Amino acid sequence: MAISGWNKYMMSQSEFTADHHGHATVLMGTAPVAELIQLARGFLLVNRTEAQFIFRTSGPWLAVRMERHRGRGDQQDHALVSTSYAVLPLGITKREIDVLTLVSLGLTNIEIAERLGTSPRTVSTQIERLLQKLDQRGRAGLAALAVDSNLLALPVPGGVDGVVPIAAVGLEKFARMLAGNHDRVSALAALPPMRRPILLGTLASLSGNATDDGEEHVRGSALAVEEINANGGIAGRPLEHIVADADLFSPTDVRGAMQRLIDARVDAITTNYISAENPFILDMAADYGHPFLHLDTFEQHVDLVRDQPERYWMIYQTCPSEKYYAMAFRRFLQELEDSRRYTPVNRRVAIVEMDSPSTRITGNGFESALSSVGWSICSKVSAPFRQTDWRKIARKISASNPDVVLVAHFIPDEIALFHRLLKEHGFTGLVHYVYGASIPRFKELLGPLADGAVWSSVTSRTDSASATKFHRDYLLRYGIEPGPSQASAAYDQVQLLAWSWARNGSTIPSGTCKVLREETYRGLNGIYYFGSGGQSPLSYPDGTADPTLGQVLITSQIQNGRSVVISPPLFGAMNRLQAPTR
């Protein structure tokens, strides 16, 4: 029996778009309720192209359809949300939809009864009726039919904790993380320390121009939280994940998001490189006095912690700094020539750097370092954020005829445009990107044109059984492969905190940070050893010769749509390089 045709009874009542930040534009009908906007934000994070479900309200229930799209010129995805009055098929009641939803999420009759405030016998009777109405033989058939026919109801009765993490559940989980429900958080924080959940705050750029990394960061963190809770939490205490969204390039946005996490009294805060562009966050974290883990890749902030440990003792940069990119690039040029895979014509490098303090890697003797291996700089361009004439730069660089172009810029749509323009101007040398080309969207935008691009990252996932499991779990949960850096780095941050809380025996900040500072942890992205000063990991092979003490600075080349590691030697081989035809 098929009931997928029930949608034909629905007539559109309203339609709107919503973005990660919760901004909504009504296209037709009545204005959407706030809960639907939050669910739309959660939908964007679960990375589905479409989702359909029944929305439970105190009045008429709604049938909801969400579609993911990105228009021409948009910098981020939007959710197109259509709603209509739900017509329940085959005489199914609202209570039976609740039961059907909970059956589909793997709950027993006793668990369903507890959530619905009824008896297991009543639930058993309701399930028997559903089996008859839907012509199914068992619970598995009911669950499959409910998912296939979009009969799951949100919000899930009783909440989404402890249920099978199918897509609809993930949608609601992310919505709850982003909502920052103040009443709920206040109630949790008011509980005695050993009874309340551990509150983990994540500051993420889900709006503006760095959403690709922001999405990966939240997804990687959420996967770690889910795994920790599935294994019993920390000494029986589950993690409660709260996500605060902020546009990376809006200081007002960032300050407000950081303050929301502090007001929620979270036990620790994780983020990517938002604090590199907004350094005032470090002082907010210092005043708050709880662990703050970031991915600034910024030696200036490492120095700050090293010089003032009494103030910044809780701040940890969970990746090596940008200074290692310069060292690795010099080494790359030397390995390139030693391999004889690429014969330079004039041994010249052109440089494009984003106009931002944390992306400037070519100062402090960089030119003399290149000179020491027989190379020179023929052109150097600063690229203002969102104001760069990439056509002009591509033309200028092509005319200077370098053998290698070094690009330190992390906005994927901008560098993808630059890469395309270089090809159009006939550039046939190597293009080496500092981190940016590792972001999956770079390859999505360019397709086959991305082949040949070289990229490096101070923190990348290395081969291991746990990395393989993470890759599989991420793909199954979100329907897309994780990039090589950001998602696993975020996962590691959460696991680092969980490990330190467990070792410390509590979430007391001083003891937690002492564990982080004095002990060594192996994660997906390598070794986290913070004992060398500045509370940032070592980088292999340029910061330490011991690969068991540092994170590997991986250099890869995109070949047939996949990244192939070409350096350093223990992890890749330069003879894998596909040299361009010149």
Task: Check which CATH number belongs to the domain holding 30 and give it.
Answer: 1.10.10.10
* 362-371, 381-390, 527-536: range with highest mean pLDDT: 527-536
DSSP string, 363-388: -SSHHHHHHTTT-EEEEEEEE-TT--
Model pLDDT, residue 30: 55
Model pLDDT, residue 261: 96
Residue 477 domain flag: no
Length of the chain: 582
Calculate mean pLDDT across residues 459-482.
Answer: 94
Residue 174 domain flag: no
pLDDT digits (tens, 9 = 90+) for 507-539: 999 999 999 999 999 999 999 999 988 999 999
270 in Cβ contact with 493 (< 8 Å): yes
Asked if the model's pLDDT at residue 4 lies above 50, the reply is no
pLDDT digits (tens, 9 = 90+) for 100-120: 999 999 999 999 999 999 999
Asked if the model's pLDDT at residue 498 lies above 60, the reply is yes
Residues 261, 372: one domain? no
248 in Cβ contact with 277 (< 8 Å): yes
Contact residues for 485 (Cβ-Cβ < 8 A; gap 6+): 435, 438, 457, 459, 460, 461, 525
Alpha-carbon Rg for the chain, nearest whole angstrom, is 26
Comparing 29 with 85, which gets the higher pLDDT?
85
Percent of the chain with pLDDT over 70: 91
pLDDT digits (tens, 9 = 90+) for 254-273: 999 999 999 999 999 999 99
Q: For tokens 């323009």, what's the residue?
A: 421
Model pLDDT, residue 185: 61
Alpha carbons 67 and 364: distance in angstroms, whole number: 49
Residues 563, 434: one domain? yes
Q: How confident is the model at residue 194 (pLDDT cuts 50, 70, 90)?
A: low
Asked if the model's pLDDT at residue 17 lies above 90, the reply is no
Instruction: State the CB neighbour count (10 A cutoff) for residue 200.
Output: 27
Model pLDDT, residue 190: 64
Residue 304 domain flag: yes
Amino acid at 139: R
When divided into structural domains, the chain yields a total of 3
531: tokens are 């004992």
Residues 150, 82: one domain? yes
Calculate mean pLDDT across residues 400-423.
Answer: 95
Q: How confident is the model at residue 9 (pLDDT cuts 50, 70, 90)?
A: very low
Q: How confident is the model at residue 467 (pLDDT cuts 50, 70, 90)?
A: very high
Residues 376, 405: one domain? yes
Comparing 174-183, 408-417, 494-503, 568-577, which segment has the lowest mean pLDDT?
A: 174-183
Strand partners, 431: 405
Residues 245, 281: one domain? yes
Contact residues for 566 (Cβ-Cβ < 8 A; gap 6+): 454, 555, 556, 557, 572, 573, 574, 576, 577
Residue 534 domain flag: no
- Residue-wise burial string across 484-506, b where 16 or more C-beta atoms lie within 10 A, e elsewhere: bbbbbbbbbbbbbbbbbbeebeb
* 12-16, 71-75, 129-133, 208-212: range with highest mean pLDDT: 129-133
Residue 546 domain flag: no
- The residue out of 166, 195, 224 marking a domain boundary is 166
Residues 498, 559: one domain? no
- The residue out of 134, 166, 198 marking a domain boundary is 166
Residues 278, 293: one domain? yes
Model pLDDT, residue 341: 87
Among residues 494, 531, 532, 520, the alpha carbon closest in space to that of 291 is found at 494
21: tokens are 């930040």
End-to-end Cα separation, the chain, in angstroms: 62
Residues 88, 226: one domain? no
Q: For tokens 């200036």, what's the residue?
A: 300
Residues 132, 7: one domain? yes
- CATH number, domain of 280, equals 3.40.50.2300
Residue 426 domain flag: yes
Residues 328, 301: one domain? no
pLDDT digits (tens, 9 = 90+) for 26-83: 565 554 567 888 899 899 999 889 999 999 988 889 999 999 887 666 667 888 889 8
Alpha carbons 155 and 101: distance in angstroms, whole number: 10
The H or E element containing residue 102 is helix 94-104
Residues 271, 342: one domain? no
348 in Cβ contact with 380 (< 8 Å): no
Residue 367 domain flag: yes
558 in Cβ contact with 437 (< 8 Å): yes
The mean predicted confidence, pLDDT, of the chain is 90
- Residue-wise burial string across 376-392, b where 16 or more C-beta atoms lie within 10 A, e elsewhere: ebbbebebeeeebebee
* 193-202, 293-302, 379-388: range with highest mean pLDDT: 293-302
Residues 292, 417: one domain? no
Contact residues for 563 (Cβ-Cβ < 8 A; gap 6+): 438, 455, 484, 556, 557
pTM confidence score: 0.89
Alpha carbons 268 and 288: distance in angstroms, whole number: 10
Asked if the model's pLDDT at residue 1 lies above 50, the reply is no
Residue 539 domain flag: no
Residue 395: give the domain boundaries. 323-457+554-576
